[in-house]
Amino acid sequence: MTTTLRASGTEILCIGTELLLGSILNGNARWLAEELAALGLPHYRQTVVGDNRGRLIQAVQEAMSRSSLLICTGGLGPTPDDLTTEAIAAAFGVALEERPEVWADIQTRLSKRGRPIAASNRKQALLPIGAEVLANPTGTAPGILWSPKPGFTVLTFPGVPSELRAMWEQTARPWLRERSLEFGGAGGVFASRTLRFVGVGESNLAERVSDLLEGENPTVAPYAGLGEVKLRLTARAASEPAAAALLAPVEAELRARTGALCFGADDDSLASVVLELLRQRGETLAVAESCTGGGLGAALAAVSGASDVFLGGVIAYANAVKQQVLGVPGEVLDTHGAVSDPVAQAMAEGARQLTGSTWAIAVTGIAGPGGGSEAKPVGLVHLAVAGPDGCASEGVRFGARRGRSGVQALTVVEALDRLRWRLLKGDAKHP
């Protein structure tokens, strides 16, 4: 007797040799996985294949045998190694046809951007017979929405993250929301909320809220990152207001238990939260950086509208720059060394005086991999915050195992969080 397994759930297939080689971080898979979770769609497998027609055909056929929905990213451009559309059509023995309206749209988009219309661009107008077009509002390569076999649907997107996300938000997300049950979803409308925490580890946070992690609707799931932990709340109900109403008491309970360890939600960043606190107080900020090389300033400048609060900063690697620009006394450098509390404090005060800012943050440390000693090992960073109520500095040992970029990233997080706690003084206490 032959048993046929009913295909269910969703798979993600990412295409590109550069992904296999590690040349590009596969951020698309992570983003799509979070989107599927928010829609309540079960997601069981992720696959990465290179730009190889045979292996791509095989991957599509295997996905069809066990899943009801396949989401593909990458390989939709005009170059010879962009094989996705052709391979998917071949996997089901369907011919490609040129869509005149798609080709006309591609030409218009290229012309508006002042780019030449090459013969290779025409390849992007070839789609499987019977497939629907997924419009690309920010690029030229369209995707497809196609059900080549009963019970199986494939959606394709470019590998460029901005194009993928624009297409998903405008077309795929609403389409999938309406058809959630077809792809193994629980039905209804889903609402989600992500709370963001700093200054607490994933295991410690999980212990504080362990009973809430066991709920079925809403669900609460932890995600750990470098220097930050997230709790994603997801609720399902008959309508969006009803789903949001389910989330509200759980979010309130989580915030009550964690206090100011929860610095924001959803798209908030530590930098955006700090800038908003300063904005509300009518105050300004400057930075002085040694070991982070501009990373602290970059985090602040990445926030839209930062210029009304963030005045600027100084990257002072050399001791001469610390002295000549920030006014760090030479005797302080000679006595304590560049990586020390007195130097960090002098850097912060110097940045504050130089720019006229209300507050200043300074960091100086040993990011590695070399340069450490027994007294001052790799991963040691001194962070100072100077403001109207004085200047304080402390050394933090992040450890050498984080690597240079890890130490730099953690330094940025820790520095911003220390200023956040100073700004919250009187309203919250550091646990």
pLDDT tens digits for range 219-254: 999 988 899 999 999 898 888 899 899 999 999 999
Q: The whole model's pTM is what?
A: 0.78
As a whole number of angstroms, the distance between CA 83 and CA 229 comes to 38
What pLDDT is recorded for position 238?
82
Q: What is the CATH number of the domain that holds 194?
A: 3.30.70.2860
62-108 residue pLDDT tens: 999 999 999 999 999 898 889 999 999 999 999 999 999 999 999 99
Look at residue 5 and tell me if it is in a domain.
no
Statement to judge: residues 274 and 410 lie in one domain:
yes
Task: Give the domain range for residue 57.
Answer: 10-183
Look at residue 2 and tell me if it is in a domain.
no
Look at residue 203 and tell me if it is in a domain.
yes
Look at residue 256 and tell me if it is in a domain.
yes
Statement to judge: residues 161 and 195 lie in one domain:
no
Statement to judge: residues 218 and 102 lie in one domain:
no
Look at residue 307 and tell me if it is in a domain.
yes
What pLDDT is recorded for position 195?
97
3-state secondary structure (DSSP) of residue 224:
strand
3-state secondary structure (DSSP) of residue 217:
coil
Among residues 220, 235, 265, the one where a domain terminates is: 265
Statement to judge: residues 334 and 353 lie in one domain:
yes
Say how many C-beta atoms besides its own lie within 10 A of residue 37's C-beta. Answer: 17
- In the chain, which stretches have pLDDT less than 70? 1-7, 186-187, 426-431
- State how many domains the chain has: 3
As a whole number of angstroms, the distance between CA 284 and CA 51 comes to 50
Query: Which tokens is 400 given?
Result: 């050498």
Among residues 183, 213, 232, the one where a domain terminates is: 183
What pLDDT is recorded for position 369?
94
What pLDDT is recorded for position 2?
30
Look at residue 3 and tell me if it is in a domain.
no
What pLDDT is recorded for position 132?
96
What pLDDT is recorded for position 1?
27
pLDDT exceeding 90 applies to what percent of the chain?
81
Look at residue 90 and tell me if it is in a domain.
yes
Q: Is the dihedral of CA 165, 171, 173, 174 positive or negative?
A: positive
